[in-house]
Chains A and B, each alone.
Chain A
């Protein structure tokens, strides 16, 4: 499905404009405040503003059947994750990996009344987006204004300059849930030992998710192998990688192993047994 997206160079340009470097002295300035004001109003002007950055032609993206609450948008629970996976099942990987796609999807969701633009500014600890924007706009804390703008752009699809192409996987909750469900389903299809819900839950802890994405996208790309990744997900669900250090140990060990052995050629079962022997020991389920 070729869906309409925001034009990538235009998105990068707009983000740079809205997130000036600290040395510029422009943080907390008029551009950022105007952007926050538009987001707080929950009107289509916010959508028009983002779309004016530039579009790459395609069909309007599909939207969820039900409105999402602010909490669901910020951290989609399993029921919402399932709806996300179904709604955007037709989005190819080549688009789902891009912040310009998820930005356009959010704009469509706002235009269709399924989320409010102010939700995008909500904090992770329960403070509403509307309240956070009001606090930023009513004060003179430039850093708070900048953080608020940054949060909105991250949620929309990701901030390209900060995390390049990992940003959709890490910073955008809808994108994160879509990818998490994809990897959980992949592991389920390989092994069928846990439900997709349980496998997805194993990927929810931030330290696991970030380590996995960092490895696949930049540092240890072999973890993204179609035989290696499902084995890792299965072993995490079976109890491996309970701390940040343990997850990095698992990924690092696999990275070293693949410099001498093409694990991808040996299939997910082989890799799962290897990891389980090394990291689960007697904890491995029969």
Chain B
């Protein structure tokens, strides 16, 4: 079975001319986990299979560092819009945890379908007979994590062992990869509620410059950084912005950091 053997409803695919699959992810209101609002819009094959109980929504939960992966099925509900809650034991995973919303064919029997105008597919698919095996991925969204990659790159934590006004940047690979910026509690409190945003941005730029220096020192000579999704994302962003990366001989961490403003960060008072 190859990916070209049936149409896939996804943002980066052009198999369908009618319809979209959208998923909105938020934290579950009760306990750990996520709430996923799945919605298939338009008149198309995926919607019709959902309505007749031949397809269902599902969410893939993945924590690679714990070698954990699980597909949580919503079960056939005959609906094209559905709220699904998925959860996992905190002790079974190592952050980051990723979720990916899907629509899959129900796990009983293979369907044979001749595609036509009613299925909302591109002309290329019309009159093509497809075979839909159990579990076939009919629609998919991207992998999501609870915080955006750039926001999770820099974490501020308070450290009362540091002198007043001081901060220190270190790398941490314990949960994916991020930079921990330890700050004296006074500075930490000010960073959360600054009286001048531009001053805060300048401090963050200094933090990022040091962080990029550490990246070059740790990974400049090899490709160990590719292990970490957040560093792959940062690498891609630097290239996209026409900036150098830590792999380049002429890499200037200070200049690159100053051109990446404004920066986002996460706050972890209890880290």
Interface of A toward B, CB cutoff 8 Å: 8-9, 12-13, 92-95, 97-98, 100, 160-162, 164-165, 169, 179, 213, 216-218, 221-222, 224-229, 257, 259-267, 270
Q: Known: A224-B64, A257-B1. Contact between A164 and B69, CB under 8 A? A: no
Interface pairs A-B: 9 shortest CB-CB: A92-B91, A264-B71, A224-B67, A225-B69, A8-B174, A216-B67, A165-B65, A221-B64, A262-B135
In contact, B135 and A265 (Cβ under 8 angstroms): yes
**A97 contacts B94, CB within 8 Å?**
yes
> Which residues of A are found within 8 Å of B58, using beta-carbon distances?
262, 265
Nearest-CB residue, chain A, relative to B143: A221
Q: Judge whether A260 and B136 touch: CB under 8 Å.
A: yes
Tally of B interface residues using CB under 8 Å? 39
Contact between A262 and B91, CB atoms less than 8 A apart: no
Chain A residues within 8 Å of B137, by CB: 259-262
Q: A161-B218, A164-B173 are contacts. A93–B68 as well, Cβ < 8 Å?
A: yes
Residue in A9, A216, A259 whose Cβ sees the most chain B Cβ within 10 Å? A9
Closest to A264 in B: B71
Please, which residues of chain B bring their CB within 8 A of the CB of A222?
69
Asked if A12 meets B173 with Cβ closer than 8 Å, knowing A262-B135, A262-B137, the reply is yes
Other 16 A-B pairs with CB < 8 A, given A13-B170, A264-B69: A12-B170, A12-B171, A94-B92, A94-B93, A97-B94, A160-B173, A216-B64, A221-B62, A224-B62, A260-B3, A261-B135, A262-B60, A262-B102, A262-B135, A270-B107, A270-B134
Whether the pair A9, B180 counts as a contact (CB closer than 8 A) is yes
Q: Which one of B60, B93, B227 lies within 8 Å of A93 (CB-CB)?
A: B93
Can you name 28 A-B pairs with beta carbons within 8 Å? A9-B170, A12-B170, A12-B173, A92-B91, A93-B68, A93-B94, A94-B92, A161-B218, A164-B227, A164-B228, A165-B94, A216-B64, A216-B67, A217-B65, A221-B62, A221-B64, A224-B62, A224-B67, A225-B69, A225-B71, A259-B137, A260-B3, A260-B5, A260-B137, A262-B60, A262-B71, A262-B135, A266-B135
Name the distance in Å between A14's Cβ and chain B's nearest Cβ. Answer: 12
B99 to chain A, nearest CB (A): 13
Residues of B within 8 A of A94 (CB): 66, 90-94
